[in-house]
Amino acid sequence: MKEYESLERRFREAATVRSIAAMLGWDQETFLPGKGAVWRGEQLAWLAGRQHRLVTGEEIGAALEVCAGYFPEEGREATNVRGWARDFRMASRIPVEYVERMARLTSEATHVWAGARKAADFSMYRPILEQLVGMAREKADLLGWEGCRYDALLDEYEPGSTAAAVEELFARLAPEIAAMVGPAVAAAAGDGGWEPSGHFPVAGQQAFNREVAEAIGFDFEAGRIDASNHPFCTGLGPGDTRLTTRYDESNFLSSLYGVLHEAGHGMYEQGLDGGQWGLPVGEACSLGIHESQSRLWENHIGGSDQFWEHWLPRAAHYFPQLSGCSPHAVAAAARRVSPGFIRVDADEVTYDLHVILRFEIERGLVGGSLAVADVPEAWNARFRELTGLAVPDDARGCLQDVHWSFGGFGYFPTYTMGNLHASQLMAAARGAVPGLDGEIAAGNYSALRGWLREQVHMHGRRWSPEELMRRATGEEPGVAAHLAHLRTRYLR
C-alpha cells in the first residue's frame, strides 16, 4: 500500500533525526564544554523542529485514515499504524514553535541544573525552572486534558495512565511500605553491618562493571559506558546504545548498581527488533515497562545473595580489601535498608517513597497549587514526613534529579510502575525457567535474558503496557508481587 510505505519512510526519517538529537544530548551530558551549551540548544532546536514537521501535516492524517483498519490487528503493520496515529494525534496539537523553544530551554536548563546542583543552591535554578514549569503547563493545555492537567503529561510516558490512578496506586502502596521500613532496618542491623571500606580506584570499578554488564548480556560491540552527573541510558539506533554512571572511590557499589540499572535499560534497547528500528513495533512499550527491566537487573538479580556468590571473587580481584568477605555480607550491604536522601542510591524498600514525593511536587507545580519558589520548603517538609530525615541541602533535596531540566514532568510515576512490573515479571520468570536461582548463582543469565526478550523486548509497542504484562505473567499488573518480594527479602 503506497500510503503505508509513505508513512514508514516519513517516520523512519523522523526517527533518524531524533537519533541525531539524542547523540547530541548524550554528548551534552558527558563531554560538552560549558560554553557550548547555548549553541547546542540551537542545534537541538533545529533538529526538534525538523522531526516535528516530519510527523505532522495533512498528508500524514490522510494516509493514516486510508491505513486504519486495513491490516490484521495483531500484525506488524497494524501495530505501526496504531502507534503512528497516536504519535500524530499528540504531535499535531503542539506547534513547531513550541517544540523549538522547548529544545533551546531544556539544553540551557540542563547546564544550569548541573551548576546549581554542584553549588547546592536552588536560587540558581529557580528562574529557569519557572520557565520549564510554565512550558509544561502550556504543553498540557495544548495536548488537552479532562481529569487534571498532569494527566496529559503522564500519558506521554505511560499511555493510558492518569494522576488519579497513580494516586490510588500510591495510596495502596505507601502504608505497606511505611510499615516495612522499621522492621527492615532492624533486620538489616542483624546482618553484621559490613560496609565497603578503603579506596576503590575508578579504573578498577570500570573494569569490574564492564565484566558484569557484559556477563548479564549488554553487548559492548553495540554500546559503551561513560560518566555523567546523572546516570542514564540512551538508545541512539541499531547497534548504538550508550550507558553512563557516576563513580565514588570510597564505595564501588554505587557505580556498579548504576551500571546494572542502566544495562537493564540498554538490554531492552538492544533486544528490540533492529530491523524495525524507528517504527512503533521496534520501540519500547512504555517507560514503566522500560524501568521494569532496569529494576529487575539492579535489584532482583544484583541484590541477591546468588549474584554475589558468583561475583565476589572477581570483585576481590580488583579490590583486594574484599578478600575474606562473604557473599551474603556484600549482598546485605548492597541492599541494606537505610532511609537516605538520594533516590538513585535508595534501597528497594524506601525507593518508592522518593517517587511519591516527586509525584506530589510535580502535580502541585503543574496544577498551580505549588509555586516554584516554594519547592525547597515543600520538598523538605514532605521528605521529613515520609522518611523522618531532615534534608541537609538542596543538592540532596530538590536538585538531585535532572528530569525537570529536560522537561520530564510526568516521568516519575513510571519508576514505581517499573518496580511493580519487575517483581511481577521476576515471579513469572521463576515459574517459567527451571532452576533460575541456581543459574544466577553460577553467573549464567542467558535463560532469564532470553525469557525477557521473548516476553517483553521483541513486542515493541504491539500492546498496551497492561496487556503486555498480562501476556507475560498471566496476571493483571498490580502491587501484590512487589509487596511479596519485599516481605520475603527484607522481613524475617
| Positions marked catalytic | 262
DSSP string for 330-381: HHHHHT-----S-GGG--TTTHHHHHHHHHHHHHHHHHTSS-GGGHHHHHHH
| Ramachandran assignment for 237, one of left (phi > 0), alpha (psi -120 to 50 degrees), beta (any other) | left
Contact predicate 418/294, CB 8 Å: yes
Phi, psi for residue 224 in degrees, rounded to 5: -160, 170
Q: Which helix (H) or strand (E) holds 236?
A: strand 233-237
Q: Kindly state the DSSP code that residue 297 receives in the 8-state scheme.
A: I
Give the span between the Cα atoms of 482 and 291, in whole angstroms. Answer: 14
